[in-house]
Amino acid sequence: MNKTLIALAILSSVAHADEGMWMPQQLPQVAKQLKAAGLKLDPATLTKLTEFPMGAIVSLGGCSASFVSPQGLVATNHHCVYDSVAHNSTPERDLLANGFLAKSLGEELPASPGSRVYVTKEVTNVSSKIIDATVAKLSGKQRSDAIEKKQKDMMAACELDAGHRCTVSSYYGGLEYYLIKQLEIRDVRLVHAPPAGVGKFGGDTDNWMWPRHTGDYGFYRAYVSKDGKAADYSKDNVPYLPKHVLKLAKEGVKEGDFIMALGYPGRTNRHRLPSEVSFTFGWNYPAYVKISGENLGIIARETRDNKDTALKYAAQVAGTNNYYKNRQGMLDSYAGSDMLARKTAQHEQLKAWVNANPARKQEYAKDIEQIEQLIAKRDADVKRDFFLNYAQPRLLGTARNLYRLANENTKPDAERKANYQVRDLPRIKARVDALVRNYDEQVDKALVLHALSKYASQPKAERHAAFDAVVGIQDGMDEAALKAALAKLYAGSKLGDKAERDAWLGRTPAEFKASGDSFIQAAVAMYEPGLKEEAEEEELGGNIQQAYANYMKAKIAYMHSKGQAVYPDANSTLRVTFGQIAGRDHGVDGTAWTAFTTVNGVLAKATGQGEFNAPAAQLAAIRAKDFGKYVDTKLKTVPVDYLATLDITGGNSGSAALNAKGEFIGLAFDGTLDSIISDWDYNKANTRDIQVDLRYILWNMKHVDHADNLLKEMGAE
Amino acid sequence: MNKTLIALAILSSVAHADEGMWMPQQLPQVAKQLKAAGLKLDPATLTKLTEFPMGAIVSLGGCSASFVSPQGLVATNHHCVYDSVAHNSTPERDLLANGFLAKSLGEELPASPGSRVYVTKEVTNVSSKIIDATVAKLSGKQRSDAIEKKQKDMMAACELDAGHRCTVSSYYGGLEYYLIKQLEIRDVRLVHAPPAGVGKFGGDTDNWMWPRHTGDYGFYRAYVSKDGKAADYSKDNVPYLPKHVLKLAKEGVKEGDFIMALGYPGRTNRHRLPSEVSFTFGWNYPAYVKISGENLGIIARETRDNKDTALKYAAQVAGTNNYYKNRQGMLDSYAGSDMLARKTAQHEQLKAWVNANPARKQEYAKDIEQIEQLIAKRDADVKRDFFLNYAQPRLLGTARNLYRLANENTKPDAERKANYQVRDLPRIKARVDALVRNYDEQVDKALVLHALSKYASQPKAERHAAFDAVVGIQDGMDEAALKAALAKLYAGSKLGDKAERDAWLGRTPAEFKASGDSFIQAAVAMYEPGLKEEAEEEELGGNIQQAYANYMKAKIAYMHSKGQAVYPDANSTLRVTFGQIAGRDHGVDGTAWTAFTTVNGVLAKATGQGEFNAPAAQLAAIRAKDFGKYVDTKLKTVPVDYLATLDITGGNSGSAALNAKGEFIGLAFDGTLDSIISDWDYNKANTRDIQVDLRYILWNMKHVDHADNLLKEMGAE
Write the single-letter amino acid at B155. Answer: M
B615 shares a domain with B528: no
* Burial call B511-545: b when 16+ CB within 10 Å, e when fewer: ebeebebbbbbbbbebbeebeeeeeeebbbbbbbb
Q: What is the Cα–Cα distance from A278 to A438, expressed in whole angstroms?
A: 35
Interface test with A, best of B201, B212, B589 (most A CBs within 10 A): B589
Q: Which of B589, B594, B600 has the CB atom closest to A591's CB atom?
A: B594
The count of domains in chain A is 2
**Is A564 within the bounds of a domain?**
no
Q: Which among A589, A612, A622, A643 is the top mutation candidate for probing chain B, defined by the most B β-carbons within 10 Å of its own β-carbon?
A: A589
Which of A663, A653, A694, A690 is closest to A318 using CA atoms? A653
Domain for residue B459, yes or no? yes
> Given CA atoms B508, B514, B517, B518 in this order, what sign does their dihedral have?
positive
Is it the case that residue B16 has pLDDT exceeding 60?
Answer: no
| Distant-in-sequence contacts of A152-156, Cβ < 8 A, 24+ apart | A152/A414, A152/A418, A152/A421, A153/A414, A154/A126, A154/A129, A154/A130, A154/A179, A155/A179, A155/A423, A156/A413, A156/A414, A156/A421, A156/A423
pLDDT at B280 over 60: yes
Active site residue A653: yes
Enter the ipTM.
Answer: 0.78
C-alpha A111, offset from chain centre: 18
**Average predicted confidence (pLDDT) for chain B:** 94
State the distance between the two ends of chain B, measured CA to CA, in whole angstroms: 44
A520 close to A495: Cβ distance less than 8 angstroms: yes
SS3 per-residue string spanning B246-262: CCECCCCCCCCCEEEEE
Q: Is A79 a catalytic residue?
A: yes
Within-domain flag for A700: yes
SS3 A602: helix
Q: Return the number of other C-beta atoms located less than 10 Å from residue A169's C-beta.
A: 16
Residue B418 pLDDT level (bands cut at 50, 70, 90): confident
* Phi/psi-derived region of residue B508, left when phi > 0, alpha when psi is between -120 and 50, beta in every other case: beta
Q: Number of A:B CB contacts under 8 A?
A: 62
For B144-150, what is the mean pLDDT? Answer: 95
Taking an 8 Å cut-off on Cβ atoms, the answer to whether B211 and A588 are in contact is yes
Residue A397 burial class via C-beta count within 10 angstroms: exposed 0-12, middle 13-18, buried 19 and up? middle
Q: Considering only CA atoms, which of B212, B185, B328 is closest in space to residue B593? A: B212
- Which residue intervals of A492-517 are DSSP H helices? 498-504, 509-514
Angle of helix B425-438 relative to helix B394-408, nearest 10 degrees, comes to 160
The secondary structure of B528-552, three-state, reads HHHHHHHHHHHHHHHHHHHHHHHHH
Measured between CA atoms, how close is A569 to chain B, in angstroms? 32
**What is the Cα A378 distance to its own chain's centre?**
23
Q: Which of B487, B519, B545 is the last residue of a domain?
A: B545
Tell me whether residue B537 is in a domain. Answer: yes
Please spell the DSSP secondary structure of B295-350, one letter per residue: HHHHHHHHHTT-HHHHHHHHHHHHHHHHHHHHHHHHHHHHHTS-HHHHHHHHHHHH
Question: What's the gap in Å between the CA of A310 and the closest CA on chain B?
Answer: 33
The answer on A517 and A445 residing in a single domain is yes
- Helix and strand element counts for chain A (H, E): 27, 19
Write the CA distances from B508 to A99, B494, B495, integer angstroms. 89, 18, 16
Q: Of B430, B445, B424, B541, whose CA–CA distance to B493 is shortest?
A: B445
For residues B109 and B238, membership in a common domain is answered with yes
Return averaged pLDDT per consecutive 10 residues of chain A, 717 residues in all: 30 54 90 92 91 94 97 98 94 94 98 94 96 96 95 95 96 96 97 98 92 98 97 97 96 96 96 95 97 97 94 91 89 92 96 97 96 94 96 97 96 92 90 93 98 97 96 95 97 96 95 98 97 96 95 94 90 96 93 97 95 97 97 96 95 97 97 89 89 98 98 94
Q: Same structural domain for residues A263 and A389?
A: no
Distance from CA of B349 to the nearest CA of A (A): 28
Determine, yes or no, domain membership for B126: no
Among B79, B271, B450, B703, which one carries the catalytic annotation? B79
Predicted pLDDT of residue B563? 81
A466-471 contact pairs (CB < 8 A, 24+): A466/A525, A466/A526, A466/A529, A466/A530, A467/A388, A467/A391, A467/A392, A467/A526, A469/A525, A470/A396, A470/A521, A470/A522, A470/A525, A470/A526, A471/A522
For residues B240 and B225, what is the distance between their CA atoms, to the nearest angstrom? 8
Residue A596: its chain B contacts at CB < 8 A?
590
Nearest to A590 among B210, B588, B589 (CB): B210
The domain boundary residue, chosen from B530, B545, B560? B545
How much is the pLDDT for A2? 30
pLDDT of residue A17: 53
Same domain, A518 and A608: no
CA–CA–CA angle B469, B472, B474 (5° rounding): 95
How far apart are the C-alpha atoms of A176 and A127, rounded to whole Å? 5
A554 and A354 Cβ atoms separated by less than 8 Å: yes
Q: Dihedrals φ, ψ of B540, to 5°?
A: -65, -45
Residues of A in contact with B692 (CB under 8 A): none
- Contacting A residues, span 559-588, partner chain B, CB-CB under 8 Å: 583, 585-586, 588
**Spatial separation of the C-alpha atoms in residues A73 and B66, rounded to whole Å:** 69
- Listed in sequence order, the residues at least 6 apart from A98 whose beta carbon sits closer than 8 Å to its beta carbon are A195
pLDDT in tens, B639-661: 999 999 999 998 999 999 999 99
The active-site residue, picked from A79, A87, A164, A271, is: A79
| A593 contacts B592? CB cut-off 8 A | yes
Q: Are B67 and B56 in contact (CB under 8 A)?
A: yes
Mutate to test the interface with B, among A209, A214, A591 (most CBs of B within 10 A): A591
10 Å CB burial of residue B301 (0-12, 13-18, 19+) is exposed
If asked whether residues A515 and A603 sit together in one domain, one would say no
Query: What is the helix (H) or strand (E) element at residue B148, kind and residue range?
Result: helix B140-158
Q: Which of B592, B604, B641 sits opposite A592 (nearest CB)?
A: B592
DSSP single-letter state for residue A289: H
Q: For A645-696, what is the HEC assignment?
A: CCCCCCCCCCCEEECCCCCEEEEEEEECHHHHHHHCCCCCCCCCEEEEEHHH
| C-alpha distance from residue A119 to each of A54, A161, A189, A230, A481 (Å) | 10, 14, 16, 11, 52
Residues A535 and A603 in one domain: no
Using the predicted structure, report yes or no on whether residue B5 has a pLDDT greater than 70. no
Same domain, B600 and B528: no
Asked if B708 is an active-site residue, the reply is no
Judged against a pLDDT cut of 70, whether residue B17 lies above it is answered with: no
Q: Is residue A676 part of a domain?
A: yes
The dihedral through the CA atoms of B66, B70, B72, B78 has a sign that is negative
Distance CA A612, CA A601 (A): 11
CA-to-CA separations, A530 to A465, A467, A527, A533, in angstroms, rounded: 11, 10, 5, 5
Helix (H) or strand (E) holding B592: strand B591-593
pLDDT tens digit string along A116-139? Answer: 999 999 999 999 999 999 999 999
- Cis bond upstream, residue B53 (ω within 30): yes
Measure CB to CB from residue A597 to each of B583, B590, B594 and give the nearest one: B590
The DSSP result for A435-466, as a single string, is HHHH--HHHHHHHHHHHHHHHHTS-GGGS-HH
In this complex, the residue of B585, B589, B594 whose CB is nearest that of residue A590 is B594
Q: How far is the first Cα of chain A from the last one, in angstroms, to the nearest whole number?
A: 44
Tell me, yes or no, whether B536 and B625 share the same domain: no
A91 inside domain = yes
Handedness of CA A90, A92, A93, A94 (dihedral sign): positive
Q: Are A568 and A127 in contact (CB under 8 A)?
A: no
* Same-domain pairing of B530 and B676: no
SS3 B577: strand
- Could you tell me which of B552, B489, B548, B482 has the C-alpha nearest to residue B516? B489
Are residues A534 and A458 part of one domain?
yes
The residue of chain B with its CA nearest to that of A209 is B590
Assess whether pLDDT exceeds 90 at residue B423.
no
| Domain closes at, from A508, A526, A545 | A545
Report the SS3 class of residue A308: helix
Beta partners for B13? B564
> Do B495 and B399 contact (CB within 8 A), yes or no?
yes
Residue type, position B384, single letter: R
Q: Are residues A416 and A516 in the same domain?
A: yes
Domain around B222: 13-116+186-267+595-714
Please list every residue in chain B whose beta carbon sits closer than 8 Å to the beta carbon of residue A213: 589-590
Q: Give CA–CA dist A602/A692, Å, rounded.
A: 13
For B613-716, list the strands marked E by DSSP: 639-644, 656-658, 664-671, 689-693
CB–CB of A694/A664 below 8 Å? yes
Question: Is A599 within a domain?
Answer: yes
